[in-house]
Structure 1
Amino acid sequence: MEDVLNKQLDQLQKAIDGVMELKTKGQSTDEARTSVTLMFVALKHANREVKQKIKAGRDNLHLEKNKVDLSRLQLQNLLYEVSHLKKEIIRCQKFKSRDTQLELLTEEEYADKLSTPSDSKDELSSHKKHLHRLECELRLRKDLDKQYSTLLNSKQELLQDSLSQTQRYVSFAPALRTLMGATQPLHDALQLSLDVEWKLSAVVKYLPKPLYILFINLQSIQRICDDHTFTSEVVGYESEVQMQDLLNEKHHDSLQSLKVEDEKYGQPESPLEKALVPHPLHIRITIGNAGAYQLILQIRYFELLKCTAVWAQMNFASNNGGDTNFVHNILRHLYPNDLGIEIPIPGIQYELQNFNISADECLAHLKAKNFGKPYCWLQGMCAIPTVNSSMLYNHELNLNKNTQEIITRISRRWNTWLKLSQQIRGLTYKDVDLATLKENIYPAGLSCSLVQWTAITLEEFHAQNSDVFKISSDDNEITYSIYRAVIVRGAAKMECFIRIPSNYPREIPLWILNVHWNGCHTSQNNSAIKMMEFWTNSLQPKQLEDNERILYAQLYRTIYSFDIFLETEGSMQSTIEYNKEKPYISAFAKRNRARPYRYIKKGSVYAFKQ
């Protein structure tokens, strides 16, 4: 086709040259031009044939490419299947049954304990025989587990019996004390020193050094105090200390034999329990008067940790139930940044590494065994040097003054929390007379009434929208007790959500208010509610004559603030639902969002003002 096109182009070139020659000679060129035009038609026809052939070639090329791509894809699929099959082959080669990791019985033990008829064995294949043996051993292990449960229950029954016998033995103590009290004149006449202090002196000498220093300081403070706010005593017996010393000596002598037995029979006790065994003697501090609620502090010493730990509990001497959730918060927030979440002994981490024990495991073990927490202030009372998380070294030298200050702080926080618990209990059962619980000297009565006070969860409190809650504060391991109070006056209702922090009284309870009257009013959509929340939460204990009634005072402020809100808000509506029952001075002297919540004495008249 290329030759045809070249030939036609040559002819066309010659015809055009001929036309040019005729034109230069001045002759007529019509016939020549007509022939040239016809040549263009032939050239166009040839050009079309060339395009058609090129298109046909491209189509054929595309078909061939598709065939090649299809064959290539099939080859790749085959390669993938080959690699997958290789992996499956390797996986099958590495497959191992789980029973290979089990410790099965020997052939002799299996024949004795799990014997089967020989006829049935011959009929089974090796695989089915193995499955039958596994099923038999599974039944055997279940039987052994039942036997173990039975023995464990019998052990618990023996422990309960031993505990009951121990309690009966301890019950002889009151009778013996009565006998000693009745024979005291005879002791005095015979000049016999059979008092309690003589017995204590024989036990005190077995105390470890930190507990001995603490007990001597407590005894000295107890003797100089006139109010007798606390008592201290040593709990334990001399025989327990002597027995522990003998066990420690035997442990050092037979350490290698114990290791062999542990490897053979398994370790019956974890190394953590062996290492963190407290001293047999510990100190018990009782804060509070007899016949009422008492706070009991159990202080133990751990030789491995080289520190002491304290555990708090409540004693119901009056046989009345109470809220014991706040007992541990009293010690946790006694001093700032001393939460008992670390072991404050210098270099204790390196010593614990020798026993493959971490500090977190030790703290978790102390908490699980009700041994308490190793606070820094407790180590200061026992003359133990400490280093806190900020790597600040501290060694208390004035032990008597420091111990007396700590006991005073604990007693003060204990009394404060006890009064707070009584307030919560009174509000829960609505056993409170608001007419006699005035914040100051305001004589007018209250129109609203408290109808409900219940405990709620922290999630329900977070669901409330309030600008007060947006204030950010450091957590510092602070927990919260949440309550919901309902105050009603007529058709109007106000929900109060109260959050009491665990570091009370450093941080006062927080109140969130929601008013349901002609819609739902919160601090987000009503500035008056925002002002009411501020007025309630701005109350400080120092503003009260008796700071033990902070909840009652806050409730009193909230109730009369709700009265003022209804009376001032209702006066601006067409139908007056609530009449003004309280005297106001310039109720709207400032912006309308401000309510006259403060009250003053003007002459002999008490009135509310902004």
Structure 2
Amino acid sequence: MSTGINVKTTKKPNLDKMDTNEKFYNIEDRIAMALTHEKLYEQSMEQYGVLREVLENYINGQKIEMNMITNIAKVRRLARLSHYATSQLRKESAEKLEIVDAKLLQLQNTTSELQHVRKEIDRCLDYSAGDEDIDLVPVEEFYKTASETISKPEETKNNEHKQYLARLQFEAEQRKEMQSTLHELEGRRNVLLSDIHKKEQRIESVIPNINELLKTTQPLQETLAVQFEDVDKVHEQRKLAVQLPPSLSLLYSHSLAYSEIMQDKSFSVKINKSEILEKEEPEGKRSKNENVLDRIERSANRIFENHPLNVEFEIGCGSQNVLVTFYHLSELQVLTAKWDLSSFKSSSQVLCAENLMTDLFENDDGVKCPNSTGNIKMQHLKLNFNEISKKLGRPYNFAQVLGGFLSADTETHLTESVRKLVLAIRNRVETRIQLDEVLKSIETKKSEILEIPKTSEFKMISFAPIEYEKFMTGISESFSSKISTISSGFYYKADFENSDKSKKLTVWIVIPPNYPQSSAILGFTVNFDEFDSKGLEESTIDLDLKSQLLNVALFKV
């Protein structure tokens, strides 16, 4: 029975006799390499079609009359050839890929070398021999001053490069000559320094002998009224004087002139090293991102920075001495003055108060900064001199005059200003001592009887200083406005009463800092039938009563 299947047969190629397995596999390899994947695909699909048709006929119940073993063997052979061809292609692809990787690596190496070469080229182009910054002599001067062995005009005038090299050579020769001259001068300087050092050593060895001689002759000096200062101290003061800022230097020089001209043995001036009131910032603390508050705080810390040197006056006032120290505030460009009465060994309020030099001269309380620029800075930073008054004092106007910051009277020399200051301080201290004695005498007279006309007898029951705040709350508004012009002063309260304690009188006393140039001011508070008002004006008090009170208080009007 015919199946109707036409099997296409291909003509077998002429092949060599395959008498060995090796020859068989070689022929198979050649066939696999000769066939492309497209041909293998076509032949495989052809064989698969035959097998599919046979299987369909078998399923339909038809009998298979042809042998399919050959077709199956062909399919297996085609599959084997396909796998072999694929493996060969993979092998070739791997070999090609290795070649590509090698070429890529070579390309990367070449690119890296190219970049390195370019960097070297750029480095060579950027190379500086150092001659660009040399200020060579002009060409005309070069040909005039340089020798012909260096300038070689016949070669260099028409060749710019050779001309430049010749100018460099001329510059090198000149520098060698200067170097030799420098070595010669340094040698001379070293010889002079050695000579100076030897002389300084000789002087230093002589100074102790001079000091010893001065100590030995001290009795003779006292007998002849001739005093010699310690040589070491004088030498040290001269060293420090060179380092003073201009303001303190001017003050120091005129103070020495006053001491020598006036022959004031109770006055001396010296230079001291002072404590710098500056808060040092740790290294690296200041940041680029520093905000406004940080800058303001740093400015506030630096505003009261003072020079490390100060000038000190020692002024004799009777048996005691007053120390007045002048400081230079670099940021504010002012001089401050601070006094010290520690030698008085007194706890009295009038001798220990900070207002000793307040209004020493007219309208000079040292509250505001005399420098307008510095005053604006302090107002901006909301600072005042109360913060440093105990350490550095206040910027009084007389200090600015002595330091050259303010002009004195046209007819007044600065040395005369020093004399006036010393005299004013002595008068102020003497006045304060007298005032202290007066206040003590008032306290001892508490038991004395005060006769008031047309009334019964009064006596003082208390007299004591009072704080400013309590003082202001106890007086009337009119009396408060009357004493408002006093920037600082001493405040006292005195209480009086009669024998049966039915009548009381309180005296409020304000002593200005420039007393007795300005008189003490008294206010009264009465509590009895003749005066039924509390906090009366001073003018309403009976004149005899006022006179009696003032006599007891020992104050002038």
TM-score, L = length of structure 2 = 0.47
Larger radius of gyration: 2
TM-score, L = length of structure 1 = 0.43
